[in-house]
Amino acid sequence: MTSQISKIVFAIVSVALAAPASFAADRNAVAYFDLSGPISEAPRPMGGIGELLGETVPPTMFDLLEKLRAIRTDDEIKGVIFEIDEAGLGFGQIQELRAEFDALRATDKQVWVHCETYNIRNALLGGAAARFYLVPSADVNFIGLYGEGLYFKNMLDNIRVEADILHCGDFKSAGEPFYRTGPSKEAEAQENRLIDSIFDQMLKAIADSRRIGADKVRALMDAGNLTPREVLDAGLVDKLGYREDFVAALKRTYGDDVDIVRDYGKKKGPELNLDNPFAVFQLFGDLMKGSGESDKPAVAVVYVEGMIVPGKSDTDFFGTPVNAGSTTIRRAIAEAAADDNVEALILRVDSPGGSALASDIICEATKRFSKSGRPFIVSMGNVAASGGYYVSALADAIFADPGTITGSIGVVGGKLVTKGLWDWVGVTGHEYQRGRHADMMNTNRRFSDDERKIVSKWMNRIYGEFKDRVLEGRRDRIKGDLEPLAGGRVYSGAEALELGLIDRTGGFADAVRYAAAESELGADYEIRVFPKPKTIFDIFAEAFGGKEKDKPFVSVASRFAAHPQLGAALESVRAIDPGRAVGIEKFLIQMELLSTENVLLIGPPCTMLGR
């Protein structure tokens, strides 16, 4: 621990003493971005503990979009380079970045992409670039879109655990992994429809970017054994070349003196007066205070990222959100509402849902913001389903990418019966009860018929409240009756637009422009994130200042990871089968929520992977 603290202190001093970056007026440069690992939505704390300790930290979508927008008007930056081989991007994020590529092209700034593998995700993003390079010996896995839903009934049977699950809506399939070994016919039908919509969008996007027919793109996928040369000959990439060839091409285009800027947009460090022996203490004092707020009009942004849970949001070692806590988000919205400079609110939602109670608390907070008369806009990311749609329902306008997964208006509930597990390992118990239904949620048995009616009534009330919220926000915009669109049905953003479940297709930047226009802000405004992201000095002060921190909701995935054997098992699964690891982690979080809340708003279990 002492060693880690020393590293942090050293890193803080290094950051504090860093000289401000200075650019020559006639600088000839290109900006470089490495999209490695999953790309979270919300901005993380400045630097983050992990970065200060030398860890590689992937960018966030907020930071990436902010920097790409800045590059459009930066005369020193002539182009942009992307390395995308290990990018953990969702389809919605890819669509947003493709739009940014188009915006850069409109300002005569070329986007260059280099990669060592060719799959459908790289094809989508790289295909929209002005220059797309592929290594001559690249792995080509351009074989389509694959989706898999994991089902855990047999596993639960093996450990003598039984799931007693109820649904509101025939298409509400989130609970099926607990008690089935495969999807119901309704769940399978809707997954096929959703995948068809997204796959068709992918084919069209690649075909349009590379100016070839969608049928040809499909035929190339179905061939299944393309070589890099065949990928080039088909027009799917522009050049075959190793990194050295790629750099040589950059220099031929921009000159031998071109600078490759790897830290574009990094904040300048404060200056230190070395003639003043007390300057370092003043510097630390200023850094601990943080920067003051400006008086500019602002568009507030609040993020709902990850599973929606009651209580405080939790973050990982890098400051990336692990879940979306209703208390944290409610307070952030209230803080934005109390800020006189905030003229509009954008809720950026990238969540499959979660707790029904937590979703309602967030939804109510947005309603109270809207009572101030200021615009409330939702921008949906990769997924905004079930609880993710619930918190969006009251928006003045909802933006989603065509490939966003949304809808899933329905409820799932129940409990896990674990008596068989405890009998199996030799643990017995003795029950005491006062009240006819006091033991209704005990884990020793399934619901009785009377209890099932009680739980169904409870769930139907929540389902009714869900639909009421949707009708309250979108009554005159929904095409037809709501019930045929609800029942747990899931849609792509393109489908949701046709049905009136969203208002416009577009990304975060489109939502910001719309919010600014509705508020008549002109061009001189700022984007302000709530809650205000902590600086590394805030984190340092909390860690060692003796301040009692709120206890966050801890996801079961984190609890499993903390256990040496189980954590190692999860890491092993992640190493050998990342797709299934994602499904298992989602299941574990859902299992904990089910055991604590019993009624959930969660989207379907299928995980789609580009191949």
Same domain for 426 and 368? yes
CATH number at residue 128: 3.90.226.10
Q: Is residue 192 part of a domain?
A: no
Instruction: Name the domain boundary from 242, 261, 280.
Output: 261
Same domain for 230 and 355? no
Q: Is residue 420 part of a domain?
A: yes
Q: Is residue 509 part of a domain?
A: yes
The answer to whether the predicted template modeling score (pTM) of the entire model surpasses 0.85 is: no
Contacts with 398 (C-beta within 8 Å, 6 or more apart), sequence order: 377, 378, 380, 392, 501, 502, 503, 504
Domain of residue 592, residue span? 298-430+457-534+554-610
Q: Is residue 445 part of a domain?
A: no
Quick one: pLDDT at residue 279?
A: 52
In the predicted structure, residue 16 carries a pLDDT above the cut 50: no
Quick one: pLDDT at residue 171?
A: 84
Chain mean pLDDT for the chain? 83
Per-residue pLDDT averaged across 568-575, rounded? Answer: 63
Per-residue pLDDT averaged across 448-460, rounded? Answer: 92
At 110-136, the pLDDT tens digits run 999 999 999 999 999 999 999 999 999
Distance CA 510, CA 381 (A): 12
Same domain for 303 and 253? no
In the predicted structure, residue 434 carries a pLDDT above the cut 80: yes
Residue type, 457: K
- Burial (CB < 10 A; 0-12, 13-18, 19+), residue 341, is middle
| Angle of CA points 561, 565, 569, to nearest 5° | 70
At 195-215, the pLDDT tens digits run 999 999 999 999 999 999 999
Q: Is residue 166 part of a domain?
A: no
Same domain for 251 and 400? no
**Which residues is 601 bridged to in the sheet?**
354
Same domain for 253 and 304? no
Same domain for 230 and 356? no
Q: Is residue 207 part of a domain?
A: no
286: pLDDT confidence band, cut at 50, 70 and 90?
Answer: low
At 62-97, the pLDDT tens digits run 889 999 999 999 999 999 999 988 788 889 999 999
Beta carbons within 10 angstroms of residue 609's beta carbon: 15
Q: Is residue 587 part of a domain?
A: yes
Same domain for 481 and 340? yes
Closest CA to 486 of 509, 508, 505, 470: 470
Q: Is residue 152 part of a domain?
A: no
Same domain for 248 and 360? no
**Per the structure, how many domains does the chain have?**
2
Structure-block tokens of residue 319:
């400051």
42: pLDDT confidence band, cut at 50, 70 and 90?
Answer: confident
**DSSP one-letter code for 301:** E
In the predicted structure, residue 402 carries a pLDDT above the cut 80: yes
Same domain for 239 and 303? no
Distance CA 536, CA 544 (A): 12
Same domain for 254 and 391? no
Q: Where are the beta strands (DSSP E) in 199-320?
A: 239-240, 259-261, 298-305, 307-309
Per-residue pLDDT averaged across 490-497, rounded? Answer: 95
Quick one: pLDDT at residue 552?
A: 42
In the predicted structure, residue 398 carries a pLDDT above the cut 90: yes
At 368-377, the pLDDT tens digits run 999 999 999 9
At 540-561, the pLDDT tens digits run 555 555 444 444 444 444 455 5
Per-residue pLDDT averaged across 40-58, rounded? Answer: 61
Same domain for 526 and 596? yes
284: pLDDT confidence band, cut at 50, 70 and 90?
Answer: low
At 303-357, the pLDDT tens digits run 999 999 998 888 766 666 788 999 999 999 999 999 999 999 999 999 999 999 9
Same domain for 113 and 237? yes
Per-residue pLDDT averaged across 225-231, rounded? Answer: 93
**Which residues is 324 bridged to in the sheet?**
308
Quick one: pLDDT at residue 551?
A: 45
Quick one: pLDDT at residue 313?
A: 87
For the sheet with 77-83, list strands across it: 239-240, 131-141, 110-119, 77-83, 29-34, 259-261
